[in-house]
Amino acid sequence: MKKLWIIVGSVIALIVIIVLCIPFFVNAEKFRPMVESKGKEALGRDLTIKSMQVSLLKGGVVLEGVSVADDPAFSKQPFLTAKSLTVGVEMMPLILSRDIRVTSVQLDEPQINLAHNAAGKWNFSTLGANTSQKNKAPSSGGQNISVQDLRIAHGRITVDQSTKRYTYDDVNVSVKNFSDKSAFPFTVDAKTPGGGSLSVEGEAGPLAKADVTDTPMHGTIKVEGLDLGASGFVDPSTGIAGIVDYDGTVKSDGKDLHSEGKISAKNLKLVKGGSPSHEVIHLDYASDINLEAKKGTISRADISAGNSNNPARFTGTVDTHGQSMVVNGVLKAAKMPIETIEGLLPAVGVVLPPGSQLQGGTVNADLNIQGPVDRLVTSGPIDIANSKLAGFNLKSKASAIGALAGIPSGSDMLIQTLASKLRVAPEGIKADGLQLVIPGVGTVTGDGIIGANNSLNFKMKAKLANGGGAVGQLANLSNLGQAKGEIPFMIQGTTQNPVFIPDVAGMVGNTLKAPVQGTQGITNVLGGLFGKKKGK
């Protein structure tokens, strides 16, 4: 029995010695030129490897200092660099016949640089495109590439946007039963710039040869806490910002891409001069895009704010050529709660006076939305009914005409109706045909502009209820303004601090014809009304 144990121990020792010696008689460096050549053929890019060795601890061949070149049309810098690439292989075929049978691949700590050109094409889209073989018939003897377990561990992805770079850290990818001839399941997770997270789970394949972005796939996407300003996919110069959560699905057959899901945005800003929205903005959408034409339709885009269950509805088309997606569609709202508009105003650059807030009432709108998403132009009619601007004392703000025009006191400004044709663009908001009916005050009409810096420049006319006090009586007696009883005035200052200025020139200069003594008398009256001393 003792001899038997000695024999068994000797055999085990011999096996251990042989295993330990494998790296010495399997020279992996001999394979390096072939691997680089095959890699270049498969990727359509130059592949360089610093060194290769057989590692029993890692169960295969380890490639250190891996680098993949970028598409020359984008950059001369590497598209990918990695600390190491471990290829798990079946050891006996490798030892006995130098036959490489891959079982797993793991890429450790890769750094990937993403960029796209003015035509909207990404630098990774040509990966795998073997230009020398495009016009050749496929070989019937082509070998199927298959890997049981493919992983990317602790990667870093940088996105070039204008002159800035944005980084996605701790990127991990897992692919099971990878094949270039059939579909394979995958998962992806990463940390997004600004402290958010991204996860994708689905199935993809078989790989498209000419453009990997045309590979069929379907999956679910979940994003939490994505900082739009730090994401790298929105130009910071546009002013668009906010924190976004997303839960949706995508499905592509390689030709058409269908996507739908729900988006929630906190602190949303849509223009450069905007401020974070007060409410959480929700978007429930569905879209279809033709990948070759890079055009598609948005069949559903319901927009709401806060807890509202009566959203505005958008439908239209999109064009994804270029660096910014171009939108062309219609946004309709029917009796949408005023809180939705109030929550969105800061996002489009409109800041209400301090302490004031739109409350109650509904909004109707029929708006055309056109242009690149970072330079959208929205135009069309909008009307508000039965609302109030709480915390805004009109008499106090319009002190120059308030008391004499008979404007009642009150801490809130009631709005029976407010209608206008708007044009909202990056440079500001233009309001034409504005009509405002204020209970107890009268009707105000006019036109004006809210600048990108919240500046106001409006020319208005007020037809005041109850005769309009002293100013109204003066207008009636002298036929001031274009219609009897109308008082012209201007609104200047900012949306935060509007300034109401009586339009004396409009009241007197062009409409009142009287003798010198009469004109002097009227001037004295107006001077007294607006705080000036009477002439002698």
Over residues 307-326, the pLDDT tens digits come to 778 888 999 999 987 667 89
Residue 66 has pLDDT above 70, yes or no: yes
Main-chain dihedrals φ then ψ at residue 526, nearest 5 degrees: -65, -40
Residue 197 domain flag: no
Note whether residue 308 is domain-resident. Answer: no
Q: Are 472 and 461 in contact (CB under 8 A)?
A: no
- In a domain? residue 413: yes
Residue 471 lies in a domain: yes
38: enclosing H helix or E strand: helix 32-43
Is residue 512 scored above 60 in pLDDT?
A: no
Q: Which helix (H) or strand (E) holds 457?
A: strand 456-464
**What's the rounded Cα separation, in Å, for the pair 434 and 448?**
8
pLDDT over 70 (residue 404):
no
Structural domain contains residue 72: no
Mark 310-340 as b/e (b = at least 16 C-beta within 10 Å).
ebbbbebebbbeeebbbbebebebeebbbbb
What single-letter amino acid sits at 484? Answer: K
Residue 261 contacts residue 247 (beta carbons within 8 Å): yes
With 70 as the cut, is the pLDDT of residue 57 above it?
A: no
Q: How many CA atoms lie within 13 A of 134 on its CB side?
A: 9
User: Looking at 47-51, 98-102, 253-257, 389-393, which range is the least confident one?
Assistant: 98-102
Evaluate if residue 67 carries a pLDDT over 60. yes
What pLDDT does 262 receive? 96
Please report the pLDDT score of residue 300 as a whole number: 94
pLDDT of residue 96: 60
**Half-sphere exposure (CA, 13 Å, Cβ side) for 154?**
6
Residue 35 lies in a domain: no
Residue 479: the pLDDT is 46
Question: Of 300, 307, 369, 311, nearest to 336 (Cα)?
Answer: 311
Helix axes 516-529, 469-478, angle to 10 degrees: 160
Confidence of residue 145 (pLDDT cuts 50, 70, 90): low
| Residue 366 reports pLDDT greater than 60 | yes
pLDDT value at 374 more than 80 = no
Q: Say if CB 186 and CB 203 are below 8 A apart.
A: yes
Residue 501 backbone dihedrals phi, psi, to 5 degrees? -125, 125
The rounded distance, in Å, linking the Cα atoms of 523 and 99 is 105
Are the C-beta atoms of residues 392 and 415 closer than 8 Å to each other?
A: no
The count of structural domains within the chain is: 1
Position 225 scores a pLDDT of: 93
Instruction: Yes or no: say if 40 and 46 are a contact pair by the CB < 8 Å rule.
Output: yes
Domain membership of residue 517 (yes or no) is yes
Given pLDDT bands bounded at 50, 70 and 90, which one contains residue 522?
A: very low
Output the six-digit token pair for 338. 């005023």
**Exposure letters 79-108 (e unless 16+ CB within 10 A, then b):** bbbbebbbbbbebeebeeeeeeebebbbbb
Give the separation between CA 464 and CA 474, rounded to whole angstroms: 12
Predicted confidence band of residue 401 (pLDDT cuts 50, 70, 90): low
Quote the CA–CA distance of 115 and 113 in Å, as a whole number: 7
**Which residues touch 368 (CB under 8 Å, ≥6 apart)?**
329, 330, 331, 378, 379, 380
466: number of Cβ within 10 Å = 12
Measure the CA–CA gap between 84 and 127, rounded to whole angstroms: 20
pTM (2 decimals)?
Answer: 0.72
Is the model's pLDDT at 292 over the cut of 80?
A: yes
Provide the 3-class DSSP secondary structure of residue 409. Answer: coil
Q: Evaluate whether residue 464 is within a structural domain.
A: yes
Q: Which domain holds residue 474?
A: 392-536
Check whether 142 has a pLDDT greater than 60: no
b vs e for 3-31, b when ≥16 Cβ sit within 10 Å of the residue's Cβ?
eeeeeeeeeeeeeeeeeeeeeeebebeeb
pLDDT of residue 434: 93
- What is the C-alpha to C-alpha distance for residues 344 and 85, in angstroms, rounded to an integer? 49
